[in-house]
Amino acid sequence: MTVAIIGPGRSSVCYGSAAHPPILVRRAPMGAVDRLGEAGGPALGIFGDAAYRQHQTVIEPGDVMLLTPTA
């Protein structure tokens, strides 16, 4: 599972993941792709005492976020 929260009128996104591939962000206008792998933890329900991290990044107008499905 991946969760990304973008507040209305804000330029940042707070995100976290549970054993999911990292979010990819294509940065405008140069087209560079960032891999947001700083936040995460194990799959949900596997460990009772699992710890999950969240992280925050800036999203600019024209940036594209890609959340990929797992196989």
pLDDT in the model for residue 66: 93
2 by DSSP, 3-state: which?
strand
What does the DSSP assignment read for 12-66?
A: EEEEEESS-PPEEEEPTTT--EEEE-SS--SPTTS-TT----EEEEE--TT-EEE
User: Hey, which residues does 6 pair with through a beta bridge?
Assistant: 13
% of the chain exceeding 90 in pLDDT: 41
Per-domain boundaries in the chain:
2-66
In angstroms, the CA 27 to CA 39 distance is 19
pLDDT in the model for residue 54: 93
On the question of pLDDT at 69 being above 90, the answer is no
% of the chain exceeding 70 in pLDDT: 97
pLDDT band at 71 (very low <50, low <70, confident <90, very high): low
For 16-38, how does the pLDDT look when each residue is reduced to its tens digit (9 = 90+)?
Answer: 998 888 999 999 989 999 999 88
